[in-house]
Structure formats: C-alpha cells, structure tokens
C-alpha cells in the first residue's frame, strides 16, 4: 500500500514537470473539459469519440477544488488508479499505469468497469438481486458507458453470459464423458452442464462444453420455467443493452465524433494479437507452462525421452495432436492472409510503439506468417495459466512416479522425513482452483466482441480483456504446496531448502516476477517517454514522445 502511491506520485511528478503542455489526445480531452469549466456545457469537439463521463467527473472535481488546469486534470487519473485495490500488480500493469499521469479516459473507464464487476459478484453471490440492487447495477453500467462505449461488452454482455450460464443447469459434471451424445443426453434429461476445470481440460473438452451449452439453451427455450429464471437474473443488463442500442440508433454510430476514422470493421487478427500481448506482459505468470510445453515437445523425441520425468504435471498428452495443430495453423494463416487490417493511423504516427511492431511485421510478406507459432504458443500458455497454479512439493528420489503421492499432496509424517533424499518438483494444486472451460469460453467470446470490431490496434484496447483474465489466474496458497516441513531434528540439514520454499514456492514466486517485470517495463517506457523526445519536420520546436 506504500509502494503503489509512491510509484504513482513519482511517475505523475516526472510527467507533470517535463510535459507541461497537453500531449497527443490530451489536447482534445483537456480542451473539452475546460470548456465545461467555463460554463460552455453544449460545446463538443467533433474529434472526440468517447462519451463525456470523464469530463463530468472532472467538472465535479473542479467545483470542489476550483482547479481545472492540466496538472489537476491529470491528478484525477492518478486518484483513479490508486482506487483500484484488487491487486498491486494490476495497478502496475504498464499500459494502465502509464496513462495515470495523462488525461486519458482509460484509467477512469477501467475503474468504472471494476466497480461494476465487484457489485455484480457481491450481489449475485447471495442469490438474485433485489430491485434496488438491480437499479444500482444499471446505474453503474450507465456510468461506465459514459467513459467508453466499448465497456458495453463488460457491463452488458459479460454479466448476461455468466449469469445465464449459471442458471441454465442444475448440476455440473466434470468427469469426461464417453461422447458428445452422452453430453447432450445428460444436459437435456438432467440439466447437467459439462464444465471441467481448465487444469484437467483437453482440447476436446472445449467442444464438449460448447455442445453442452447449446443443449442447455435449447432446453431453456423448451421449458419456459428455466427461461423465466434466467430473465429474472439478467433483466437489468438487458435494459442496459437496450439503452445502449437506443443510443447507437439515435447517434447513428457507436462513436460520438470523428466517425469516418472509427468505423466498426471485422478484424479477426485482433484475437491473435491478444495472446502475444497477454503473454508478453504476463510472462512471469505463464513461464512454467511455456517450460512445460517445451519439455513435452522434447520428451516426445526418442533421444530426449529421459526428459519425460521432468514434465511439470506428468501429462504425456499435454499438447494438441499434430493434426489439430495443423488445423489451427491453417485457420490462422487464412485469417492473416485475408483479414489483416492496418489502420491509416497505425503507420502514420511514429510516436506509438505499435507503429514499429507493424512496420517490422509488414516489412516482408512472409514475416507476419512466421508469427503464427508465437501466437499459438502464447495462446496455449495463457489458457493454461487459468488452470490451477503450479506449486512446489517434495518427493523421495526413489519414489515411484505413479502420480498418486504427488497429485494427492498428502503430507508425510515427521518420522518418515529425515531431511535427505528429497527433490523439489512442481505439482498440481488442490482440485477446485482455477477457472472452468465455461468461464474461459465466455471470456474469449466477450473479448472477441470488443476487439474484432476495432480496426485500430492499440495496447489500451486490450487492458480490460487482460484484467478480466488476470483476475481469474489462480495463485498458490501459503501452506498448500508443501508435503514436508522441517523439524528440529533435521533443521540444519534442510534449512536452505526450507528458506527457498517459504520465500519462493509457497508464496507463489510468480507474483514477485510479475512485479519486477512490470516495474522494469514502466521504468524503461517512462524514461523513453520523458527523455527520448524528437521533433517532426512539419512541427518544429514541438517535442514528440514515444508512448503506448
């Protein structure tokens, strides 16, 4: 709690001292809110595409403090970021942390969605919402939409999908069925939803879960009582969707201004970029699964079969079959070939990092296809991270690796533990942790709705999909990852391993790596933004800066 405000204050102070004029999109946002502060409530800059929620909030801040200058307006975003208490690392997420010192809509917009999500979870964990709670949900959704229109997917579609999925079934089945026919029969006859944990899921389970979902939807249409049950849960969010649809019809577009440059377009490669984006920023969380995938590949080679015991979870068929991999490669190749969209803004503005990414991707026609293995490996590791976390356990070197002692995590008695002959190995976490396939499918679907309609590729657009993913990544729990503990008898012999386990494995060392990685990125990007200024020939004397 001390480090976060200190980091925000340091970044805010550095930007305020060196960037004294509104920068890039700040020119439009600051100019608009200062019109409000002067009492020109009906003035609207036609270049602004987002609703006036941030400006209204800033106007209230102005009425309280009497300040409407650039520093005061930037300070509002710094306060908004500090209010996100879900986790320190989420606050340090580089594309989010960067904009806390600039007057952009992203930080306040993110806060509004998280407040809505918290209200959604708290209310529905106790059963159906009361009328008052439903009205609060609608109000929070409208407030969120006043910051950014694309929030409709997270305050409208997302809650409907989650609540409806929960109301469709009476039972949850995680045991793998014999066939798709069995899934259909169980879903129709008993309202049983096949929704296994990601930690145990194979690729075929995604298909079976989809079949189960479709069957339950058809069953709900056949049995009106189930449909009425769903409507009682989701009616507030249906109203939100209706209000948003009415706004789009009235406005003639989703965006408010500059409609010619922000036309909704089918842009499927966005769902390839999201995997590389998430994997890059969250490599500290996904690296165990990347290592596991590499070991799985090498262990399949006869000469490297000796590496098989090193497999983290001991799953020999961890990776998809070659035929399935080929199918994914084919789909990605067709998507890249026929649907790659490069918005004019992307290659026209060399201040954004995406300019350089796409310049290299498009330098030669074949380079964008070489990225396909990267997309696939990133997607695989990101989805695996939603399963139960990898944890440390200790096993005897001479113990047969039948998976029983390791998977159960059963503690050894002190009499059996002599502090010797132990090796550290990653282990499955207790059953029940992590996400299920049902949630993963909802998350992918809602993220796709938000991203594939945007022709422009910007790191800011991926913030909410990343946060929703990050909130569902399970961590190891203290005390749950050890099968042995040191005793007075063996303390001197194993204190080194014990010290390592407590500080590194038991407390989920991935969080330390994530914090360090985010800190490094923020420092590097912040230094580049503040110190690597340059000028455009067409705008002499005006400093341009690199940014997300």
Element containing residue 394 per DSSP (H, E): strand 391-396
For residue 394, the model assigns a pLDDT of: 41
Q: What is the pLDDT of residue 414?
A: 37
Query: Angle 148-149-151 (CA atoms, 0-180°, nearest 5)?
Result: 75
Q: State the Cα torsion 57-59-65-66 to the nearest 10°.
A: 170
DSSP 336-373: HHHH----HHHHH-TTBHHHHHHHHHTSSTTHHHHTHH
Please state, in angstroms and rounded to a whole number, the distance separating the CA atoms of residues 166 and 496: 47
Instruction: State the maximum Cα–Cα separation within the chain, in Å, rounded to a whole number.
Output: 80
- According to the model, what pLDDT value does residue 368 have? 92
Residue (of 340, 301, 285) closest to 469 by Cα position: 285
CA dihedral of 227, 231, 237, 239, whole degrees rounded to 10: 110
C-alpha Rg value of the chain to the nearest Å:
26
Phi then psi for 293, rounded to 5 degrees? -65, -40
- The pLDDT value recorded for residue 401 is 41
Q: What is the pTM of this model?
A: 0.82
Long-range residue pairs from 400-407, CB within 8 A, at least 24 positions apart, any chain: 401/309, 401/314, 403/314, 405/483, 406/314
Distance of alpha carbon 511 from alpha carbon 507, whole angstroms: 8
Nearest residue to 26 via CA among 7, 62, 54: 54
Which pLDDT score, from 0 to 100, does residue 345 have?
87
Residues contacting 320, CB < 8 A, separation 6+: 203, 328
Q: Which residues contact 180 (CB under 8 A, 6 or more apart)?
A: 207, 208, 211
Please report where in the chains the tokens 């203290």 appear, as a residue: 478
Which residues 6+ apart lie within 8 Å of 383 measured at CB? 198, 440
pLDDT of residue 463: 96
Compute the distance between CA of residue 473 and CA of residue 443 in angstroms, rounded to an integer.
Answer: 13
**Residue environment code for 413-429, b if the CB has 16+ CB neighbours within 10 A, otherwise e:** eeeebebeebeebbbbb
Q: What is the pLDDT of residue 178?
A: 66
Contacts of 307 (CB under 8 A, 6+ apart): 295, 298, 299
What pLDDT tens digit does each residue of the chain (548 aa) get? 566 777 878 888 888 888 888 888 888 899 899 998 988 888 888 888 888 888 888 988 888 888 888 888 888 877 665 544 335 778 889 999 999 888 898 999 999 999 999 899 888 776 677 889 999 999 999 999 999 999 999 999 999 999 998 888 766 766 667 678 888 888 888 888 888 888 888 888 899 999 999 999 999 888 888 889 899 899 999 999 999 999 999 998 888 888 887 788 899 999 999 999 999 999 988 888 887 777 766 666 655 555 555 444 444 455 677 888 899 999 999 999 999 999 888 888 899 999 999 998 888 888 999 999 999 999 999 998 998 665 444 434 444 444 333 333 333 333 334 433 333 333 334 444 678 999 999 999 999 999 999 999 999 999 999 999 998 988 765 444 444 444 444 444 444 555 555 555 556 778 888 889 999 999 999 999 999 999 999 889 899 999 98
3 state DSSP class of 270: helix
Task: Give the angle subtended at the CA of 360 by the CAs of 354 and 366, to the nearest 5°.
Answer: 130
3-class state of residue 87 by DSSP: coil
CB contact at 8 A, 52 and 75 = no
pLDDT score at 500: 53
Residue 250 structure tokens:
């009235």
Q: Which two tokens stand for residue 163?
A: 């609540």
Identify the pLDDT of residue 396. Answer: 40
Pull the structure tokens for residue 36. 């409000």
pLDDT reported for residue 319: 65
Nearest C-alpha neighbor of 30 from the set 10, 525, 20: 20
Cα angle 363, 364, 365; round to 5? 125
In the DSSP assignment, the letter for residue 202 is -
H or E element, residue 392: strand 391-396
Q: Can you tell me the distance from the alpha carbon of 401 to that of 398, in angstroms, rounded to the nearest whole number?
A: 9
Q: Please tell me the predicted confidence (pLDDT) of residue 256.
A: 86
Element (H, E) at 423: strand 422-427
């Amino acid at each position: 709690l001390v480090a976060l405000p200190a980091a925000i204050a340091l970044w805010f102070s550095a930007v305020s001292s060196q960037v004294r004029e509104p920068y890039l999109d700040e020119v439009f946002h600051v100019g608009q809110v200062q019109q409000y502060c002067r009492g020109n409530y009906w003035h609207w800059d036609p270049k602004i595409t987002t609703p006036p929620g941030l400006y209204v909030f800033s106007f209230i801040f102005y009425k309280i403090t009497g300040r409407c200058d650039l520093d005061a307006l930037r300070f509002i975003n710094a306060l908004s970021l500090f209010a996100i208490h879900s986790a320190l690392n989420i606050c340090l997420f580089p594309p989010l942390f960067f904009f806390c010192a600039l007057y952009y809509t992203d930080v306040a917009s993110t806060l509004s969605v998280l407040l809505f999500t918290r209200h959604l979870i708290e209310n529905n964990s106790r059963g159906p919402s009361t009328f008052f709670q439903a009205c609060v949900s609608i109000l929070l959704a409208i407030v969120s939409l006043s910051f950014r229109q694309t929030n409709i997917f997270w305050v409208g579609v997302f809650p409907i999908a989650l609540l409806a999925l929960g109301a469709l079934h009476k039972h949850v089945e995680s045991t793998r069925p014999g066939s798709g026919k069995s899934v259909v029969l169980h879903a129709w006859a008993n309202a049983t939803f096949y929704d296994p944990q990601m930690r145990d899921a194979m690729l075929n389970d995604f298909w079976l879960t989809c079949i189960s979902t479709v069957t339950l939807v058809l069953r709900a249409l056949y049995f009106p009582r189930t449909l009425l049950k769903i409507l009682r849960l989701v009616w507030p969010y249906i109203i939100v969707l209706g209000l948003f649809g009415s706004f789009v019809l009235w406005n003639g577009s989703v965006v408010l201004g500059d409609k010619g440059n922000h036309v909704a377009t089918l842009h499927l490669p966005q769902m390839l970029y999201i995997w590389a984006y998430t994997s890059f920023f969250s490599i500290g969380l996904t690296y165990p699964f990347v290592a596991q995938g590499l070991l799985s590949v090498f262990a399949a080679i006869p000469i490297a079969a000796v590496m098989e015991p090193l497999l983290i979870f001991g799953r020999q068929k961890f990776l998809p079959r070659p035929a399935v991999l080929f199918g994914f490669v084919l789909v990605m190749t067709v998507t890249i070939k026929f649907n790659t969209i490069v918005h004019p803004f992307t290659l026209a503005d060399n201040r954004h990092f995406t300019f350089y990414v796409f310049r290299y991707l498009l330098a030669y026609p074949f380079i964008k296809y070489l990225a396909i293995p990267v997309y696939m490996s990133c997607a695989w590791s990101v989805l695996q991270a939603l399963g139960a976390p990898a944890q440390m356990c200790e096993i005897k070197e001479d113990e047969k690796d039948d998976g029983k002692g390791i998977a159960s995590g059963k503690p050894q008695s002190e009499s059996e533990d002599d502090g010797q002959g132990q090796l550290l190995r990653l282990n499955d976490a207790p059953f029940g942790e992590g996400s299920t396939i049902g949630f993963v499918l909802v998350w992918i679907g809602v993220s796709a709705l938000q991203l594939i309609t945007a022709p422009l590729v910007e790191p800011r657009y991926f913030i909410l999909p990343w946060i929703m993913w990050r909130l569902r990544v399970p961590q190891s729990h203290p005390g749950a990852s050890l099968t042995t503990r040191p005793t007075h008898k063996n303390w001197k012999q194993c204190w080194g391993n014990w010290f390592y386990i407590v500080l590194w494995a038991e407390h989920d060392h991935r969080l330390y790596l994530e914090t360090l990685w985010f800190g490094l990125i923020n420092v590097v990007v912040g230094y580049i933004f503040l110190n690597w200024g340059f000028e455009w020939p067409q705008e002499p004397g005006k400093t341009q800066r690199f940014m997300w």
